[in-house]
With several copies, the nearest count.
Chain A
Amino acid sequence: MSKSVLTGQHFVNGDVACAEGAIACGCRFFAGYPITPATEVAERMAERLPQVGGVYIQMEDELASMAAILGASWGGMKAMTSTSGPGFSLMMENIGLGIITETPCVVVNVQRAGPSTGLPTLCGQGDIMQARWGSHGHYEIIALSPGSPQEIFDITILAFNLSEKYRLPVIILTDEIVGHMSEKVVIPDEKEIEIVNRKTPEGSKENYMPYMTGDDLVAPMAKAGDGYRFHITGLTHDSRGYPVLTPEVQKEMVYKIVNKIRKNRKDIIYFEEIELEGADFAIITYGISVRVALKAVQMLKNDGIKCGILKLITIWPFAEEKIIEICERVKGILVVEINLGQIFLEVKRCVEGRVPVKFLGHAGGAVFKPVEIIRLIKELSEDGKN
């Protein structure tokens, strides 16, 4: 059997790095359906899983893939699927099932430019809000966004850890450029990889309740086939997992799945502050767009403008507190993303008019040029002077 952690240096693309991250932290089930630009995740899994005692299955569509990873997760496996916009839309219903049944799993969306079939081979960041709101009903989600093959490796592990810890589907929102870009990926030693596994029940099997939680709002999860004889439903349910179709139980259940995220924001929200110390302006961005911002910040420095970057790693839940804090420090904010304003809306909401917020959007198919960022930061700077 081949090694599951390929410790060493690799020149691979983001999709491959994603697959390696998953395997490195114990993912042993992948249900796939090909779609550009996420196919390489599936292909790598198809090649690697059989080497490490895992199973790759190609399902008949994305509805089935999503359902299958939920099933496998209840069978005790760490499970993943990958897709892009059209497939992500199709997965929405069963992502909702994962949310309400509190099933750990990871869904990778390598974003391309939409809407619809759009530009299948070109980049976009248009599914940000969809990741938050795409399934019906009210819930909270975790979504993470890497900006390089190395990050996608690391973040895939983080995604599994969060998903196991908080028992929910975690979404990796990457994009075509990161997915298809090859760079050096350093895979650490197996021992250095921190892995979180779901809590498993301890007491007697008969008394096991799949949704009976303590203060942490996350219940231990039994494995199907082990004799716990639990029941799981997509209906509103109580701590036994039994359907109880009343507003009271609905309230309890929905608040629980919402609060396990809302109350653990500190633990879940990752970001990186780049040259924000003493900066006059902040660029808020994520994924591939960070790379452009990095170059722009360098160029601005040459022009004597102090501009930093807030790189969002956790997209959802949204880093509200951080944004509010940054408002206190800077004179203006620029939001940069490859869509027509999604995180921009969130930033506006948090900033509440404290400082000017500008937006640099892109309809998709390409990444920005650094000069576009520079122009807008300079505008912010000029506006500030008047």
Chain B
Amino acid sequence: MINKYGEIVITGFGGQGIVLAGNILGKAASIYDNLYASLTQSYGPEARGGACSAQVVISSGPVLYPYAENPDILIAMSQEGYNKNVDKLKPGGTLIVDCDLVKHEVERRDFDFRAIPATKIAEDLGYKMMANIVIIGFFTSKSKLISKKSIQRAIETSVPAGTYEKNKTAFTSGFNYRDNSVPSSVRN
């Protein structure tokens, strides 16, 4: 097995399913890809609408320190989450944003920038709550850290029984979404 290590931060509001997204990735990596994964979360007192983030550290060996200090991948579903985390993104890493909710404004260009209107897509599919799955689909198409198959299995075993088909659609929409952003060359 290749030596794998990767840190993912997913950030947004409470209610967007940020932690569930992190859980799916962690489960995919640790149970189905047979890696080690650690998911930590941080959230405020708000059930909905407060800042919320999930950190997933994935590694071929046991995860010691479970925090993503310099994420390889940052998925931002809110402006606040973006603002707080974008500077920590590892040079050469990947930034994925919901482009309706996040304005990408920083000077840095030393990472791959990807944008998807995930919430809009989910709304259009008729299930706004699944923007997280849309963006996970999109992430899956952009990163090799976790296998697609495992992520799909993790979704299947994580979402409420009756909703799997919808989630699958959301995942596929995200996976198939073609963004216009071109990988920016690593300059730094």
Contact = CB atoms under 8 A, between A and B. Distances in A.
B44 A177 contact: no
B65 A292 contact: yes
B65 A183 contact: no
A9 B31 contact: yes
B160 interface: no
B38 A182 contact: yes
A320 B43 CA distance: 38
B81 to A, nearest CB: 15
B37 A245 contact: no
Contact of B30 (A121, A184, A298): A184
Q: Which of A181, A182, A295, A298 has the most CB of B within 10 A?
A: A182
A11 B40 contact: no
Given A177-B66, A181-B38, A291-B65, 6 more contacts: A9-B30, A121-B43, A180-B41, A182-B22, A184-B30, A292-B65
A181 B66 contact: yes
Interface string B13-30: 000000000110011001
B64 A183 contact: no
A11 B64 contact: no
A201 B32 CA distance: 49
Given A11-B23, A11-B26, A121 B37 contact: no
Contact of B65 (A121, A184, A295): A295
A370 interface: yes
Contacts of B36: 183-184
Nearest to B65: A295
Contacts of A224: none
Contacts of A122: 42
Main secondary structure of the interface of A (DSSP, over half): mixed
Nearest to A235: B45
Interface in B36-82: 36-45, 63-67, 69
B50 to A, nearest CB: 9
Contacts of B37: 11, 183-184
**In the A-B complex, the 5 residue pairs with the closest CB atoms:** A295-B65, A11-B27, A182-B39, A294-B64, A184-B30
Contacts of A121: 42-45
Main secondary structure of the interface of B (DSSP, over half): mixed
Contacts of A367: 67
A181 B45 contact: no
Contact of A182 (B23, B42, B69): B23
Contacts of B69: 369
B65 A120 contact: no
Contacts of A182: 22-23, 26-27, 38-39
A177 B44 CA distance: 14
Given A121-B45, A122-B42, A11 B31 contact: yes
A369 B88 CA distance: 15
Given A291-B65, A370-B65, A180 B45 contact: no
Given A298-B64, A367-B67, A370-B65, A183 B38 contact: yes
A183 B41 CA distance: 12
Q: Which of B30, B38, B40 has the most CB of A within 10 A?
A: B40
Contacts of B64: 291, 294-295, 298
Contacts of B63: 183
Contacts of B42: 121-122
Nearest to B23: A182
B105 to A, nearest CB: 23
A84 B45 CA distance: 15
Q: Which of B36, B65, B67 has the most CB of A within 10 A?
A: B65
A291 B44 contact: no
Given A181-B38, A181-B39, A245 B65 contact: no
Contacts of B30: 9, 11, 183-184
Given A11-B23, A245-B45, A184 B67 contact: no
